[in-house]
Each structure stands twice: as C-alpha cells, then as structure tokens.
A = this chain, B = another copy of it.
Amino acid sequence: MPKDRKDTSEQAILDAAEEVFLTKGFAGARTTEIAKLAGVYHGMLHYYHGTKEELFSKVFDKKLQLLNHAFSFALEQNISFIEKIKSAIEAHFDFLLENPKLPLFIINEVMANPERKIMFKKLFAPKIGKILTMLEKEMKEEIEKGTIRNISPADLLLHIGSVNATSILPHIIMSENSNHKWNKKELAFWQQKRAENVEFVLRGISP
C-alpha cells in the first residue's frame, strides 16, 4: 500500500481547504483553488473528500472542536476571582492571536447555514450554561464581598470576548498577507494590547 503518497495528498488538500475556507468562507471558496494550493489535480479533492460540502464540514468541525476546547477556561485554578478573570482574559487573547480568523469564520458560516447554526447551539449552549452557573455562584459572593460591582456573568463573559476579539480585528482586516508569524516588535505590541484589555475589563467590573 503506497501509504505516504495518500497521506501527503489527502492532508495537503485538507490543509489547503482550511486556508481557503477560513479566508474566503464556504460560498467564496473554489474547489479548484483549493486543489491548486494543495498542488494536486482537482479530481483528487473529490476522490478523497467527496463534495465541497463534505470537505468543508471536515474543516468546520475541526475548528468547532478547537473553539470548544478553548472554551475550557482556566477558571478552575485555586486563585482569587480577579486573578482568575485576568488569566482567562490572557488565555483567550493568546488563543485569538494563534487563531485570528476563527471567530469571523465561525460567525459567518453559522449565520449562513441553519444546520450549522443548530450544530453550534447544541455544542455550546450547554457548555456556556455550565460556565455561567458556575460564575453566577462565585460572582454573587464577590459582589457581596465588594470586590466587584454588580454585573451578570453573561455580560462579563461577553465583554471579555468582545474586547479581545476586536482588538485583533483591525490587523486581520488590514493585513495583506494572511498567515504571517509575529516578529519581536509586533509581539511586544500585542503584549501591550493584552495588558490594556486586562486593565480595561478589571476596571470595568470594579466596584
């Protein structure tokens, strides 16, 4: 069995599909472009991965899993609430920096396709529910103690997500080359942004 040949083609197509789908979305992606990027004849694409829809699903499911795991916050350490929030913000920020295209990709594709919307709900509704009830309890105590102001867990979570996601957005939108690794100077810039976001959110929930 010529195993390595298959591996390289099948995987190359998957990698190319990920690249193209994440930047252009399902509707904007062309299977020919994916094949070309993978360096294979476009027949191979269907041979290994069936229809465009099926290929897309493989990419989408993978990204949904990634997002799902990323949601397993480091909120279970034995540190103060404020410290927990801080580390959650930082972890989330770092995740976004590693996966800058993910949020828009998921949002767009979920909005575009009712089935995926259902899928998305099923996967995240319970997860978010759990996090919220967990936070609910803990935040009630903190509010009584006076360490934070009166704010709902949902609002807090949304604020964190929004501030982090949007601070990276301008650079995704405006950058020419889609996949480049940050150099030292840029990393320092992002460190600063991250610190600012922590600062902003913590003050935002201060009593």
Pairwise interchain contact A170-B196, C-beta atoms closer than 8 A: no
Q: In the docked arrangement, what's the CA distance between A205 and B107, Å? A: 29
Asked if A151 is an interface residue, CB under 8 A from chain B, the answer is yes
Copies in the assembly, this chain: 2
Interface size classification for chain A = 35 or more
Pairwise interchain contact A169-B107, C-beta atoms closer than 8 A: yes
Query: Which among A110, A159, A206 has the greatest number of chain B C-beta atoms within 10 A?
Result: A159
Residues in B with CB closer than 8 Å to A167 are 158, 162
Q: Of A4-12, A20-28, A57-65, A88-96, which stretch is located at the interface?
A: A20-28
Asked if A174 is an interface residue, CB under 8 A from chain B, the answer is yes
Residues in B with CB closer than 8 Å to A110 are 173
Asked if A182 is an interface residue, CB under 8 A from chain B, the answer is no
Asked if A201 is an interface residue, CB under 8 A from chain B, the answer is yes
Asked if A119 is an interface residue, CB under 8 A from chain B, the answer is no
Kindly list 11 other residue pairs between chains A and B, CB separation below 8 angstroms, not including A108-B108, A155-B196, A162-B162. A26-B28, A27-B28, A104-B104, A107-B169, A117-B173, A117-B174, A149-B199, A151-B200, A163-B163, A165-B166, A206-B206
Interface residues of A, Cβ cutoff 8 Å to B: 23-28, 104, 107-108, 110-112, 117, 121, 149, 151, 155, 158-159, 161-163, 165-167, 169-170, 172-174, 196, 199-201, 203-206
